[in-house]
């Protein structure tokens, strides 16, 4: 296991907002940013669009994420192919993955439902680590708020897996 390398990742999923209640469905984007702790920098980034098999991208989802049905039709690939690309380009059992929240479980559940071997074996929930480091017993904090409270300005459009994973990698470098 290479504990010097951490792959920060973020998922975007089909989403709907009806009467103020949000729900999510299949993964439509995986953003990744790998950090080298010994160098203190981001060394690799990637963005993969995933074609949903059953869900559709709602207008709400397209406005929130910037991912349109047309973009997925042109650039999306089946989740199995995306997972293979992740393993090829970022490693699997030899890397530690990190996300803000439990994106690892979401990915694992969808992989298992589709008969795909989940690519993540070692995982760090950076939201939990942040709460522990800052002695936040009762209060939850979002990724963007945590990053800005750490004095790291947010870059880019929020709710893009590519942008969110990059920003998470920048925050992770200050935490790990």
The pTM assigned to this predicted structure is 0.95
Buried b (16+ CB within 10 A) or exposed e, 146-159: bbeeeeeebeeeeb
| Tokens (6 digits) for 163 | 């942008």
CB–CB of 38/172 below 8 Å?
Answer: no
Alpha carbon distance 60, 63 (integer Å)? 5
Print the domain residue range for 74: 5-175
Distances (CA, A) of 121 to 11, 58, 80: 17, 32, 17
Percent over 90 (pLDDT), the chain: 91
Alpha carbon distance 153, 155 (integer Å)? 6
Mean local confidence (pLDDT), 32-52: 98
pLDDT of 36 above 80: yes
Under the banding of pLDDT at 50, 70 and 90, the label for residue 2 is: confident
Cβ neighbourhood burial of 53 (10 Å; 0-12, 13-18, 19+): exposed
Which CATH number covers residue 152?
3.30.420.10
Q: Which of 45, 52, 42 is nearest to 12 (CA)?
A: 52
Alpha carbon distance 128, 137 (integer Å)? 10
pLDDT of 20 above 80: no
CB–CB of 98/123 below 8 Å?
Answer: yes
For the chain, the domain total comes to: 1
């Amino acid at each position: 296991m290479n504990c010097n390398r951490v792959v920060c990742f973020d998922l975007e999923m089909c989403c709907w907002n009806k009467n103020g209640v949000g729900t999510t469905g299949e993964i439509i984007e995986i953003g990744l940013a790998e950090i080298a702790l010994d160098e203190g920098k981001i060394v690799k980034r990637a963005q993969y669009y995933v074609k949903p098999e059953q869900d559709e991208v709602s207008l709400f989802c397209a406005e929130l994420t910037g991912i349109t049905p047309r973009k997925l039709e042109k650039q999306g690939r089946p989740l199995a192919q995306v997972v293979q690309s992740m393993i090829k380009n970022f490693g699997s059992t030899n890397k530690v993955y990190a996300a803000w929240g439990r994106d690892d479980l979401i990915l694992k559940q969808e992989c298992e439902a589709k008969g795909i071997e989940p690519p993540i074996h070692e995982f760090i929930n950076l939201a939990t680590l942040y709460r522990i480091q800052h002695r936040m017993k009762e209060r939850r904090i979002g990724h963007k708020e945590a990053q800005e409270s750490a004095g790291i300005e947010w870059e880019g459009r929020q709710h893009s897996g590519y942008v969110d994973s990059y920003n998470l990698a920048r925050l992770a470098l200050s935490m790990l």
